[in-house]
Amino acid sequence: MMKKIAVSVVLFGVISLAGCSSAGSVPEQIKVDQEYVKNVERASRRASHAPRIYWVNPPVKKIPKTEASNH
């Protein structure tokens, strides 16, 4: 019984560490994709029967942080 508990604890620890290592080491910055937003809104204004656009969840893009941007 103790052997099963010990194996379970070790297995849980290994799985937890594997999950942490897959999180990624390069930090990213998430910003609204302003270019895409402008293009969609411009196309909506040009269309004759286009609905009005309300961005509930605006499109985002991930930008990797560099050493220069941290200073």
Query: Whole-angstrom Cα distance, residue 41 to residue 36?
Result: 9
What's the gap between Cα 25 and its chain centre?
Answer: 14
Torsion sign, CA atoms 44, 50, 54, 57 = negative
How does pLDDT run along the chain (71 residues), one tens digit per residue?
778 888 787 877 777 776 655 555 667 889 999 999 999 999 988 887 878 889 999 999 998 887 555 55
Query: Whole-angstrom Cα distance, residue 15 to residue 28?
Result: 24
Q: How far apart are the first and last CA of the chain?
A: 55
